[in-house]
C-alpha cells in the first residue's frame, strides 16, 4: 500500500500488492511491513489507515454507507487481511491491465478495453483509459466527505486521485515516500451504499452508489464507473456520462441505484 521510494514498498494487508508483485506489475526490491507503523483502529470519526475492512464492517459507530461498502467488498478472508488505506490505493481490475497488455496505464499508447471487452469498465472519464475503479470503500468515503491524512499532508479524499494523461499515468497522487495514516469522515444524518454485482457476494462493483445526507443536502460517491472513485453532485450529472457500447447498462444501473440511495437516506 503505497510506495516508499528507492524500490521499497510498504506492505499492509498485501491482498493487492502481493499478487501485483508476483505478476511483475509492481516492482519492489524491499518490502516494509507497515502494520506496526501506521495507526489502526477507530476513534470517533477518525479511522487509522491500518484498520481492516472486517473491523469496520463490525463496528456499529461506522456510518451505514461505509459499513455496507466494507461488508460487500471482496471476500471475508480479504476483508480480514485488507486495510482501509490499502483499499483506497488498490489497482484497477481491468483485465488488460492485470494481464500486462501494453495499455496506457502501463505506458503504452492504446486502451485495449475501449475496442475490446469492457463490460466491467468506465462510463465517465473513459476516453484515455476506460478502467473502472473498484473501491466500494472509496465511493462510500466520497459520499461521507472524507479527508485523507498522510505522512505529509491532509486533504479531501477526491484529491488523492487523478485521471491519467500522457505525462503521468498514475491514478493516485501520492509522493514516493508518502503513506496514508488516517481517514476522517463527516458523520452524516443518514447514509447508504448500494452495489450491483455479478454474484450476490465476492464480486467487484459493476456500479456501486453511496449516498449520505447532511444538512446541506445529499452527497453521492460511485464505484465502478470511472478510472477513479467518482463523485456526483446530483443524479443529473449522469447525463454527462460517455458509456462505451458494452457499458451503457451501467448508466441505467447508476440511475436506478442512485434514485434508490437518495430515497433511502431521505434525500
Closer to other proteins by Cβ: residue 46 or 101: 101
Give the residue with the Cβ less far from other proteins, 77 or 156.
77
The distance of closest approach from Cβ of residue 219 to other proteins in the complex, given in angstroms and rounded to an integer, is: 21
Q: How far is the CB of 29 from other proteins (least distance, A)?
A: 9
**Cell 472513485 identifies what position?**
229
- Asked if 105 is part of the footprint of other proteins (rule: CB under 8 A), the reply reads no
Question: How many angstroms separate the CA atoms of 144 and 138, rounded?
Answer: 9
8 near other proteins (CB under 8 A):
no
Binding track over 48-67 against other proteins, x by CB under 8 A = ------x-------------
Three-state SS annotation for 79-147: HHHCEHHHHHCCCCCCHHHHCCCCCHHHCCCCCHHHHCCCCCCCCCCCCCCCCCCCCHHHHHHHHCCCE
Report the nearest approach of other proteins to the CB of residue 189 (Å): 25
Is 174 an interacting residue with respect to other proteins (CB under 8 A)?
Answer: no
> Toward other proteins, which CB reaches closer, 173 or 198?
198
How far apart CA 190 and CA 193 sit, in angstroms, is 11
Options 90-98, 153-161, 171-179, 228-236: segment touching other proteins (CB under 8 A): 90-98
Taking the complex as a whole, the smallest distance from the CB of residue 218 to other proteins amounts, in Å, to 19
The least CB distance from residue 194 to other proteins, in Å, is: 9
Strands ordered across the beta sheet of 42-43: 42-43, 46-48, 180-184, 147-150, 154-156
- Nearest-angstrom CA–CA distance, 212 and 144: 6
Sign of CA dihedral 68, 73, 78, 82: negative
Would you count residue 169 as binding other proteins (CB under 8 A)? no
Q: Which residues in the 195-234 window bind other proteins by CB under 8 A?
A: 196, 198-204, 206
Question: For residues 103 and 121, what is the distance between their CA atoms, to the nearest angstrom?
Answer: 14
Give yes or no for residue 248 binding other proteins (CB under 8 A). yes
Sequence-distant (6+) residues with CB within 8 A of 210 are 65, 69, 139, 140, 142, 143, 144, 191, 192, 193, 194, 220, 221, 222, 223, 261
Task: Please tell me the count of residues contacting other proteins according to CB under 8 A.
Answer: 46
The DSSP H or E segment spanning 258 is: helix 248-264
Stretch that binds other proteins, among 93-101, 141-149, 151-159, 170-178 (CB under 8 A): 93-101
Q: Which stretch binds other proteins (CB under 8 A): 170-178, 183-191, 218-226, 242-250?
A: 242-250
- Residue of 209, 205, 196, 19 whose CA lies nearest to 121: 205
By beta-carbon proximity to other proteins, the closer residue of 19 and 41 is 19
> CB-based burial of residue 126 (10 Å sphere; 0-12 exposed, 13-18 middle, 19+ buried)?
buried
| Contacting residues toward other proteins, per CB under 8 A | 11, 14-15, 18-19, 21-22, 31, 33, 35, 54, 71, 74-78, 80-81, 93, 95-96, 98-99, 112, 115-117, 119, 196, 198-204, 206, 246, 248-249, 252-253, 256-257, 260
Amino acid at each position: 500500500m503505497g510506495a516508499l521510494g528507492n524500490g521499497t514498498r510498504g506492505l499492509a494487508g498485501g491482498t493487492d500488492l502481493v499478487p501485483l508483485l508476483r505478476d511483475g506489475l509492481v516492482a519492489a526490491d524491499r518490502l516494509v511491513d507497515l502494520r506496526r507503523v501506521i495507526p489502526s483502529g477507530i476513534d470517533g470519526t477518525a479511522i487509522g489507515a491500518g484498520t481492516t475492512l472486517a473491523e469496520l464492517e463490525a463496528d456499529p459507530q461506522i456510518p451505514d454507507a461505509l459499513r455496507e461498502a466494507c461488508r460487500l467488498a471482496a471476500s471475508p478472508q480479504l476483508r480480514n487481511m485488507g486495510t482501509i488505506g490499502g483499499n483506497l490505493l488498490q489497482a484497477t481490475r481491468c483485465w488488460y491491465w492485470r494481464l500486462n497488455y501494453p495499455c496506457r496505464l502501463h505506458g503504452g499508447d492504446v486502451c485495449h478495453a475501449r475496442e475490446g471487452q469492457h463490460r466491467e469498465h468506465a462510463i465517465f472519464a473513459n476516453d484515455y483509459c476506460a478502467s473502472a475503479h473498484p473501491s466500494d470503500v472509496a465511493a462510500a468515503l466520497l459520499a461521507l466527505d472524507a479527508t485523507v491524512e498522510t505522512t505529509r499532508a491532509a486533504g479531501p479524499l477526491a484529491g488523492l486521485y487523478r485521471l491519467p494523461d500522457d505525462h503521468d499515468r498514475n491514478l493516485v497522487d501520492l509522493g514516493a515516500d508518502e503513506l496514508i495514516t488516517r481517514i476522517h469522515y463527516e458523520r452524516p444524518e443518514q447514509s447508504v451504499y448500494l452495489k450491483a454485482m455479478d454474484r450476490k457476494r465476492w464480486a467487484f462493483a459493476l456500479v456501486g452508489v453511496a449516498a449520505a445526507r447532511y444538512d446541506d443536502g445529499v452527497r453521492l460517491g460511485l464505484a465502478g464507473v470511472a478510472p477513479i472513485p467518482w463523485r456526483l453532485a446530483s443524479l443529473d450529472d449522469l447525463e454527462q456520462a460517455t458509456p462505451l457500447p458494452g457499458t451503457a447498462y451501467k448508466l441505467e444501473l447508476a440511475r436506478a441505484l442512485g434514485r434508490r440511495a437518495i430515497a433511502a437516506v431521505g434525500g
